Amino acid sequence: MSNTLTSLVCTSKEQAGTIQCKKIRSEMLEIPAILYGENKPNQMLSLPEKEINLLHNRKKLAGHLFELMIDKKKQAALVKAIQTHHLKGNVLHVDFQRVAKGHKITTNVPILFINAEDSPAVKEKGQIIYTTTEISVTCLPGDLPEHIELDLAEIAMDQIIHLAELTLPKGVELTEAVSESHNPTLVTAHMPKIIEEPVEETATDENTEGTDEDADAQNSDSGQNESESEQDS
């Protein structure tokens, strides 16, 4: 298993808590982390900030397996959770779960959609909507794929592809079984709706002239009526 995992050098930390985590981030250019599981005590770690954020930006951190090098000892671990800055997006904390070779793990794996540009739907100017982009799977650590491919080369207009149609790699199974009540949509293809904007009506020159003439006629009638009233009085 160690030959297939990304190696990550860590430093073990004895102290824990918010103050210690802030100190690690600010003074050492490192990211605090915790390692737990397999009926062993929790272990505080510090990780190289630059490497961790690079993995995060490449979407190769959350849900991925690593071989942690802790004080010259190897430990396979799965990234179960990451905490990021709400504005900057950089990683603030990482949760690792210890992984034993013979124990199954459960994690989310991204779906890689391929060949959509070659599909009949796209050639007919259709729109592809990706509803589900990752799924939860259960497998042994050595069988965990980096992603699961879904070939869209044959998707046609108005076609819907559901989870039941996804082919899983050997040794990998869905965490939740597919049934009539649970078969999520993965992708759909349809013709985009064209929204017509309402056309504003504008007055023509003739209508404008007619309006001016009507106004002049009304003013003339009003003046004549006032003159007749003065004569009568």
- Residue 22 is assigned to a structural domain of this protein: yes
The token pair at 140 is 């042994």
Which DSSP state fits 17? S
Q: In this predicted structure, what is the pLDDT of residue 111?
A: 96
The CATH number of whichever domain residue 44 belongs to comes to 2.40.240.10
Where does the pLDDT of residue 228 fall: very low under 50, low under 70, confident under 90, or very high at 90 and above? low
The mean predicted confidence, pLDDT, of the chain is 85
Closest CA to 102 of 148, 43, 147, 143: 143
Q: What percent of the chain has pLDDT over 70?
A: 76
Lowest mean pLDDT among 85-89, 113-117, 194-198, 206-210: 206-210
Compute the residue count for the chain. 233
- Residue 125 is assigned to a structural domain of this protein: yes
Closest CA to 61 of 103, 108, 105: 108
* Identity of the amino acid at 67: E
Q: In this predicted structure, what is the pLDDT of residue 29?
A: 78
Lowest mean pLDDT among 27-31, 158-162, 192-196, 209-213: 209-213
Stronger pLDDT, 229 or 102, i.e. the higher one: 102
Residue 166, judged by CB atoms within 10 A of its CB (0-12, 13-18, 19+), counts as: middle
Q: In this predicted structure, what is the pLDDT of residue 1?
A: 43
Same domain, 96 and 111: no
Same domain, 176 and 150: yes
Same domain, 96 and 12: yes
The CATH number of whichever domain residue 149 belongs to comes to 2.170.120.20
- Residue 210 is assigned to a structural domain of this protein: no
- What is the four-CA torsion angle of 169, 170, 174, 175, rounded to 10 degrees? -130
**Rounded CA gap, 171 and 139, in Å?**
6
Same domain, 119 and 59: no
Reply yes or no on whether the pLDDT at 103 is more than 80.
yes
Mean pLDDT of 151-157: 97
What domain count does the chain have?
Answer: 2
Per-residue pLDDT of 33-67, as tens digits, reads: 999 999 999 999 999 999 999 999 999 999 999 99
Where does the pLDDT of residue 3 fall: very low under 50, low under 70, confident under 90, or very high at 90 and above? very low
Q: In this predicted structure, what is the pLDDT of residue 19?
A: 58
Containing structural domain, residue 33: 6-100
Q: In this predicted structure, what is the pLDDT of residue 101?
A: 84
Per-residue pLDDT of 175-218, as tens digits, reads: 999 999 999 999 999 998 876 677 776 655 555 555 555 555 55
Q: Are 12 and 75 in contact (CB under 8 A)?
A: no
Mean pLDDT of 69-82: 94
Where does the pLDDT of residue 2 fall: very low under 50, low under 70, confident under 90, or very high at 90 and above? very low
Same domain, 114 and 170: yes
Where does the pLDDT of residue 24 fall: very low under 50, low under 70, confident under 90, or very high at 90 and above? low
Mean pLDDT of 16-37: 71
Count of alpha carbons within 13 angstroms of residue 186, beta-carbon side: 22
